[in-house]
Structure 1
């Protein structure tokens, strides 16, 4: 039997399913006492995330099994980084370590951010003390560029360059040639 997987933007009617998936997926985070927003989400927070950001879901035969959100710089002027921010990344525990998360992140990084939006880079944040997240993101090409203390945890910010020439232009303030 062949599995049918699709990636699409989440809709408000997906909020209950996304909330259940998120809470199941973030159980290990809660056990580590790491205060990620998604780890203690409620329905209103999920709805706000769906309607204010670009939340992508990966479905397997119509069932939502993974989600990731992109927050664009213009959506939150309090954030000083000019690049899209990836957060609220969750994979159904039944589907962990099957490449589902990588498939969804690759799609968002390459098809959406690099090819459609033309974003030169993307960034994310995680708790430094999380036992495996920093190293997973580093293997995916993310590099630490900043850190802050938030609610007693050291949060590291990691950036991945998606388009090196465009990134150099923006970071070095080089003029764009025609």
Structure 2
């Protein structure tokens, strides 16, 4: 196979994965492997794992258990910024810890970037910035009063969403 053919095959496979996730609940990489194999793709779990990472798919809680969703679905625009954050917090339980002038927010695996983006786009502006990993994000503050104001406002948004909150 040529490099172009490999690239085309990869794009087709990734398109099929996105279509699969969009069409219904997919809870495991094994389900993706089986579905793509049924469509004629020769894939391994390792290949699917890389594709899922490249596509930015994350697992989020749903009525069907934890299922893969696209970043667009978690962070879909269409509501004012605080409502978007509330919608995300409905589906993603977030606990809050602290280290100095840094709040440590922990969600489910693969959700930190969506939460950080929603925070950055919300009316919460006391923070200096956010830094997201896989399931953990850091919210940085210049001083104690800003941190406390931000934490209280975040808790209000979290409570309105019905989400989990920590001391």
TM-score normalised by length of structure 2? 0.25
Which protein shows a greater Rg?
2
Structure number having the greater strand percentage: 1
